[in-house]
Amino acid sequence: MKFDDTIAAISTPPGEGGVSMVRLSGTNAYAIARRVFKARRSKGKSLVPWRVYLGDFMDMAGAPVDECLCTYFRGPRSYTAEDVVEFSLHGGGFLAAKALDVLVNQGARLAEPGEFTRRAFVNGRIGLTEAEAVMDVIRASSDVALRQANEQLRGRLAEFVTLQRNRCLELLALVEVSIDFPEEDTSSVARGHVAERLARVSGTLRSMADTVQAGRVTSDGLRVVLVGRPNAGKSSLLNALAGEDRAIVTDIAGTTRDTIEARINLDGILLTLWDTAGLREGKDLVEKLGVQRAERALEAADIVLVLIDGAGELHPDDRKLLARTSADNRIVLATKADLPRQVALAPYDALPVSVVNHEGLTELRIRLAREARRLAGPENSLVITNMRHHQALLSSIAHLEAASQTLSQGWELEIVAIDVRRAVDALGAITGDAIGEELADNIFGRFCIGK
Ligand SMILES: Nc1nc2c(ncn2[C@@H]2O[C@H](COP(=O)(O)OP(=O)(O)OP(=O)(O)O)[C@@H](O)[C@H]2O)c(=O)[nH]1
Ligand SMILES: [Mg+2]
C-alpha cells in the first residue's frame, strides 16, 4: 500500500504553551509548504532539507498568520519516510487550529490518530512493535516504564520474536522435507528431532509470555490495595503516602464508599494505591456496593496492605481478614501507632504506622519499592508490556503445543505442519509480518492525533 494523499495535524497537545507544532506528510507536503510559508532570507529559493528556516506562515489571502520556524524533511529521511514539513508556531490553540485550517484549504487532509506512525510502519521505516513502543514512550509515567518502552523502540522485542519465528520456519522446512521424501524413511529420526525442537521453541516463548506480570508492573505500576475494617485508618494512610488529601477522612465508620485511586512514583516505579470501603456487613446499599468493590480490588492486587486499628481490640472481622489474606502478598500494618497500643499482632509481623507522627512510613515505602522492583523483574530484561503481544504469544504457544501433541500421537507430518504454520502466523502478527487492515486500525487508532 502506498499513500497518495498528504496529511496534516497539530502534533503538540491542545491548549496554550510556548510552541505548537503543525506537521504535514505526503507527496504534496513540500508544495503546500511553499504556498503557505515564506522564508525570511531565502529570496524565494527552494528550501534545503533538514535546515530550519525562520519566516512567515500565511493564510489563503497571503496575509501573515504567525512568525514561525519551518523544517523540511525530505523522504525517506523523515519520520514517516515521506516528505514531511514541520511548522513550529507560537503556542496558541486558536493559532495552531488556524494554521491547520490553511493547510487543509491547500489540499492536505486531517490525519487520523496515529497516522504518521502508521505511515512510518507501512513505508517500512519502523516495525510494528517499534510503532507500538512510540505510544508507550509517550505514555510512560515512570523511569522503569520509559526504559522498557525505549528497549522495545530499539527493536529488542522484534528481534526476539523474529528469532523464534525463524526457528519455527526452520522446523517447518524440516517437516516439509520429510513430507516430500517419505521413502527416505528418515521419519522416525526426524520425528524425534522435530518434537525436541518444538518443545524448545514453545518453552522459550512461554518464559517470555510469563513476563507479563512484570510488564504490567513496569508500565501500569504496582497495584497496592488498602483493606481493613471501617475507621482502621486506610484513607488517612492513602493521603499520607500520596502526599495530598485524596480521600475524605472522618471518625465516622464507613466514610469511604467507593474505591479511590492515587498514583505515586516511588524510586522510579509507579504505584497505584487503592483505598477501599471498610470491610463489614454494609449498613445500606451504597456501603454494600462499596464493600463489593473492595473485594474486587483485593482480587486484583499485587500487594495488599492489611490495616488493623492498633489502638483498638482485635475484632472478629480483623481475624477473618487476616485469615483470608494469609496466602496473599501482603503487609500487615498496625495503625495509629502514636496512640497507646492494645492490639496484639505479634504473629503477623505487623509494622506499626502512624500518620500523626509518621512512624513506620519510611519503612513502608522501602518495603513497597522493594516489592515493586522484585515484581518488575531484573533491570535490563525484556518483558511483555502489551496485551496484544501477550495474546499472540499465547496463541503461538497453543499452536506449537497442538503440533507436539499431534506428533506424539503419530499423526502425519502434514497435520503437524498446519499447526506450526499457525504458530508462525501468530508470531508474525506481533512484528507486523502478517497483519490485516483491521488490526492495523485497531493498533494505530489508539494513538493521539498528530503522532
Ligand atoms: N491518632 C491517630 N488517628 C488516626 C490515624 N490514622 C487515622 N486516624 C483517625 O482514625 C479515624 C478514621 O480514619 P480513616 O482514615 O477515615 O479510616 P478508614 O479506614 O478510611 O475508614 P472508613 O473509610 O470508614 O473505612 C479518623 O478520625 C482519623 O483521624 C493515626 O495514625 N493516628
Ligand atoms: Mg476511608
- Written as nine digits, the cell of 277 is 470501603
State how far the Cα of 443 lies from the Cα of 124, in Å rounded to an integer.
16
- Residues 116, 144: one domain? no
CB 221 within 8 A of CB 142: yes
In ligand 1, the atom with minimum distance to the C-alpha of 232 is 19
Residue 87 and residue 49 share a domain: yes
Do the Cβ atoms of 82 and 26 come closer than 8 Å?
A: yes
3-state secondary structure of 238: helix
Q: Domain span at residue 391?
A: 132-211+384-431
Same domain? 73 vs 196: no
From 349, 376, 403, give the residue that closes a domain: 376
How many structural domains comprise the chain? 3
Residue 413, all three cell numbers: 507430518
- Give 270's strand partners: 265
Residue 347: inside a domain:
yes
How buried is 383 (Cβ within 10 angstroms: 0-12 exposed, 13-18 middle, 19+ buried)? buried
Clarify whether residues 226 and 371 are in a common domain.
yes
The answer to whether residues 296 and 398 belong to one domain is no
CA gap 278, 229 in Å, rounded: 5
Which set of grid coordinates corresponds to residue 347? 504473629
Give the CATH number, domain containing residue 390: 1.20.120.430
Nearest-ligand number for the alpha carbon of 312: 1
* Ramachandran category for residue 114: left, alpha or beta (phi over 0 → left; psi -120 to 50 → alpha): left
Residue 354 CA, ligand 1 centroid: distance in Å:
10
* Predicted confidence (pLDDT) per residue in 348-386, tens digit: 889 999 999 999 999 999 999 999 888 888 777 888 988
The phi, psi pair for 334, rounded to 5°, reads: -100, 110
Q: Rounded to whole angstroms, how far apart are CA atoms 279 and 227?
A: 7
Domain boundary among 338, 358, 376: 376
pLDDT digits (tens, 9 = 90+) for 113-167: 899 999 999 999 999 989 998 888 888 888 888 888 888 888 889 999 999 999 9
Identify whether the C-beta of residue 401 lies closer than 8 Å to the C-beta of residue 395: no
pLDDT digit string, tens, across residues 11-46: 998 888 899 999 999 999 999 999 999 999 878 789
Dist. CA 425–CA 420, nearest whole Å: 9
Q: Is 189 in the same domain as 326?
A: no
Task: Judge whether residue 185 has pLDDT over 70.
Answer: no
User: 154 and 119 in one domain?
Assistant: no
**Both 298 and 190 in a single domain?**
no
Ligand 1 proximal residues by C-beta, below 6 Å = 228, 230-236, 249-251, 253-256, 277-278, 335-336, 338-339, 354-356
Indicate if 237 and 136 belong to the same structural domain.
Answer: no
